Amino acid sequence: MAPVDVNEILSKLTLEEKISILAGANFWETVGIPEKGVPVLKTSDGPNGARGGTMEGGATSACFPAACSVASTFDVDLAQRIGTALGKETLTKGARCLLAPTMCIHRHPLGGRNFESFSEDPFLSGKLAARNVIGVQSTGVSATIKHYAANEQETQRLTVDEEISERALREIYLKPFEISIKEANPGAVMTAYNMVNGIHADSHPFLLQKVLRGDWGWDGLVMSDWGGVNSTAEALNAGLDLEMPGPARWRKIPDVLAAVSAGKVTEQTINERALRMLRFLEREKCFEDPTIPAEQSIDKPEDRALIREAGARGIVLLKNEGGILPLTREKARGKKVALLGYAKQALIHGGGSASVSSHYRVTPWDGLRAALGDDVELTYAKGAHTFRRLPLLSENVVGLDGTPGFTYNVYSPGHSTPIETKQGHPNSELSVFETFDLGSAAPGAGGEREFELIGHFTSPVTSTYYFNLSGLGPSKFAVDDKVIYEQPANCSDFMGYMLGGVPVPRLEVPMEAGKRYKVQVFTNMPRPVAGVDLGIFDGRFSVRLGGMAAVEYHRDILAEAVEVAKGADYAIVFTGHDPDWETEGQDQSGFHLPREGSQDNLVAAVAAENPNTVVVNSTGVAVAMPWLGQVKGLLQTWFPGQEAGNSIADVLTGARTPEGHLTCTFPKRLEDTPAYGNFPGEYVDGQLKVKYAEGVFVGYRHFDRLPADKVNFPFGFGLSYTTFDYADLDVKEVSADEYAVSVRVSNTGGVKGAVAVQVYVGHANPAPENPVKVLAGFKKVALEAGESQTVLIPVGARDFAFWSEGGQRWVVAGGEYKFSVGKSAGDLVLSAAVQVGEKTYAP
């Protein structure tokens, strides 16, 4: 096939056709113009698995470890291998553009989406993201780095206005993007929802023109986050090429033509945006092969092995008092091991864009049962109520036709006879994800509709029942034709509702065992409100009713767990966040493990009865650990992907020596964190505003200025089942801009292990406005027991420069610097003094 001339194709398009390709056709695909030779491209979420075209159900996918887990390996080669596998997975879903990786900064422990990003450190984030991008794009799939820029919170993320200095932007929040763009050349960049210094990111001339296109010289495709466009002319002029999803909201052809006629946008700007879109299609070889293959679920053995390996290698051993771990098969033979908490749930990913319908999921119970065999007796108790939302009604319900499930009715407004009826709806929810997946075929997509779920529920117990009701639009809940609760207006937070729920009142209804109750749920599509953009929720609908017997809600399951732990030789408590608690769309509910202290109480109570207590924590963020002094062992496992139980078992039993290092600081108190008091911000005239008052002092940069006892575990911390020694540190100036750091690392223990050699650089006498040190190099090294190796790590001067707002350039102040090798940011084991001349670098 002859090469396509995209300029020639552009010349044949009418102005209307050029405008049409600047917004999506549907939720995942771009607009094609077949008669003019313009093909369609399909995109897919997300960061730890290619989901494909459906938000729920559909073809299953491989679920890889979350970015926080990958970063914890400090292994760029592994990040690239995972990227390659993700690229191949994307192709199995008929897509050529993966909406990943996410690479914003862990600014605050309560950030709802921290798990989806790599680290609190911009250098580590950028290096891992770059190699992930290289891996993805080696398969012919385009990576999309997101969310540009400063998307560090979920609270009011569509409208929050962030006040950030240019120095903090350059050194902390833009740096990962800069590294990825310069080292990996991603095909696309996705803009953030939030405002930065008063301007929405999708319409931001400084971010898009000055920095991205100008300073960095990048020429790929800029797309919006889904529903993240906030203007017509401004976004086009600033450099946003593609509005997603489709159909267009801000880029409807008549609206853009009107902007052109009014002189707000030039035809030249439309040409530039359209040409970038065509070049993106060319890059992804859509002209050569315009087909979009059917989605496939391919469960590959090599993916299983990679996910298990990567999940284990990201696990961080935080405490191992008395060498309680590893709990080998030999050590545990003939013993009783209590598995508590989340042991029978696999916490494989967080909520939102990163969630996938995985091929399978291995629980810790299953993983340990396979690892320890029949010679070890495993016992189990949940021990803590951890649900965030009351469970859906699905059992003991029949519809109007007498079959299991609810009757689902669709009405025209004001009519009592349904225009559509379905029987056997499985539960008490009409999911918003289904309405997106159905697209224009969704009931109500072509006009206003009202919706009803109706069924007869037979209570299995005599008890007060607790109920919650929430809907995107006005909704109500009735029992035996009596309205129990009505939500008269739209949901207060559409995104929060979609991705984990919003706070709702608890309703109480007394019920008797064996009695039948008519349960009805009504909902409407969101109502237009003056000054409120419904965005991607316009024309969609959703409602959710949760219910649970109070006797079950209040059942004392802690006492049962304590009894199980008492009778065991070892107690392993699995704590963490399920996707309802840690999710896109809302920030963490608190610093302590949820719910209402139940998990902290479980750990404390078990540790008080069993001296051999180990905690395995699965969160994407630092959490409070009031029980830390009571337990002997502690693992931070993040979200390890679909092989979670096997990865965890491999480390617990010593099949794999732990080698992970923390990618964020674990503070003792939330009050000591750098953004405390400035997260999630304050409302000013009805708008949430947040000051990034900590400037560049994010993560360990902040804690370096505080006493060491403010943290439980510092950035970069990680223990092993072996020990490592460091010697012979040497720093050589290779060129005016680069240094070579070499250090001899020895495995002085009894088993093979791996460690991340971390290099920190800081001025010997830092100015108050500058950090004490920054991570400027790292390398993962694996050593056999007794083996030594000289590790060489390059360090660029640009990587420890600071941004001069006055000089508009990067500056390395002249003087004496300390080049240090650390086991963590809080434990520098070797340092060398190096004289560094003053250096400056253009942006």
SS (H, E, C) 281-300: HHHCCCCCCCCCCCCCCCCC
CB proximity list for 207: less than 8 A, separation 6 or greater: 148, 149, 191, 196, 201
Reduced to 3 states (helix: H, G, I; strand: E, B; else coil), residue 532 is strand
Backbone phi, psi, residue 733, to 5°:
-85, 110
Which tokens is 374 given? Answer: 């029949």
| Dihedral sign from CA coordinates of 330, 331, 336, 341 | negative
CA distance 704 to 717: 14
Q: State the Rg of the chain over Cα.
A: 27
CB proximity list for 806: less than 8 A, separation 6 or greater: none
> Which residue in 513, 720, 248 sits closest to 240, CA to CA?
248
> Which residue in 783, 703, 797, 699 sits closest to 743, CA to CA?
783
CA distance 502 to 204: 30
**Contact by Cβ (8 Å): 453, 406:** yes
In this structure, which amino acid lies at residue 216? Answer: W
SS (H, E, C) 655-695: CCCCCCCCCCCEECCHHHCCCCCCCCCEEECCEEEEECCCC
219 has catalytic annotation: no
Question: Using the 8-state DSSP alphabet, how is residue 312 labeled?
Answer: H
CA distance 339 to 296: 36
> Which residue in 793, 713, 796 sits closest to 756, CA to CA?
793
**Contact by Cβ (8 Å): 612, 567:** no
CA distance 397 to 456: 5
CA distance 775 to 107: 16
In this structure, which amino acid lies at residue 694? Answer: E
CB proximity list for 7: less than 8 A, separation 6 or greater: 275
**Contact by Cβ (8 Å): 296, 50:** no
CA distance 667 to 105: 17
CA distance 402 to 455: 9
* 347 C-beta neighbours (distance < 10 Å), count: 29
β pairing state of 161-163 and 687-691: parallel
Q: Using DSSP, how many helices (H) and how many strands (E) does the chain show?
A: 21, 39
**Contact by Cβ (8 Å): 529, 490:** yes
> Which residue in 478, 472, 617, 636 sits closest to 541, CA to CA?
472
CB proximity list for 820: less than 8 A, separation 6 or greater: 759, 760, 761, 762, 773, 828, 830, 831, 832
Reduced to 3 states (helix: H, G, I; strand: E, B; else coil), residue 348 is coil
Give the helix/strand (H/E) hosting 815.
strand 815-824
Reduced to 3 states (helix: H, G, I; strand: E, B; else coil), residue 315 is coil
- Catalytic residue, candidates 225, 578, 600, 799: 225
**Contact by Cβ (8 Å): 474, 487:** yes
CA distance 419 to 541: 17
CA distance 518 to 511: 12
Backbone angle region of 247, left / alpha / beta, with phi > 0 → left and psi within -120 to 50 → alpha = beta
Reduced to 3 states (helix: H, G, I; strand: E, B; else coil), residue 47 is coil
Active site residues: 225
